[in-house]
Amino acid sequence: MVISEDTRAAIEREIGKYPQRRGALLPALHLVQQEHGFVSPDSMRELAGIFELLPVEVMEVVHFYNMFHDRPRGRHQVHVCTNLPCSLRGARGLMRQLESHLGIHAGETTADGRISLGHEECLGACAYAPMLRIGETYHENLDAEQAKRLLDGLE
């Protein structure tokens, strides 16, 4: 079993909030990803068992949403919002700068496993664009130098 008892209990609590078990699949995927940092094929199989779905159906959901990852990621998840308002305020240029600073492309992880960089759709912080998210923390009104310093400060 790769999903812990605690996470399973939390998943059952989520399931209780929905008329059908499968309704809680998205919260469950978040819980599993919180526990492991990603959703492995083994956990997809276990989730399929919990939700009475086929493993491929769980995997379809994991692949459909780009906030779920099916393989290990870096220690820090850096997401740059590149949706329209942020892009109008330079988010794409920011992303290019961060890509060359880290030497990776969006969607990749640095060789030392320190940082995974990714695009993010709207994070609801349009007024503070450009912005990025490190883990659960928003960093707003950024220019390239500030953003690079932020990344350099990550362990």
Q: Which residues pair with 77 in a beta bridge?
A: 116
Residue 26 CA from chain centroid, whole number:
13
CA-to-CA separations, 92 to 2, 22, 84, 136, in angstroms, rounded: 38, 37, 10, 21
Residue 15: count other Cβ atoms within 10 Å of its Cβ: 18
Site for other proteins in 82-101 (CB under 8 A): none
Q: Closest CB to other proteins among 69 and 76?
A: 69
CA dihedral 135, 141, 144, 149 (to 10 degrees): -50
Q: Which stretch binds other proteins (CB under 8 A): 25-33, 60-68, 124-132, 136-144?
A: 60-68
Q: Total binding residues for other proteins by CB under 8 A?
A: 11
Query: Per CB under 8 A, does 64 bind other proteins?
Result: yes
| Closest of 84, 74, 127 to residue 104, by C-alpha | 74
Site for other proteins in 18-47 (CB under 8 A): 41, 44
By CB under 8 A, name the one of 54, 84, 88, 122 that touches other proteins: 54
By CB under 8 A, name the one of 12, 52, 60, 143 that touches other proteins: 60
Closest approach of Cβ 151 to other proteins, in Å? 27
Q: Footprint of other proteins on this chain (CB under 8 A)? A: 41, 44, 54-57, 59-60, 63-64, 66
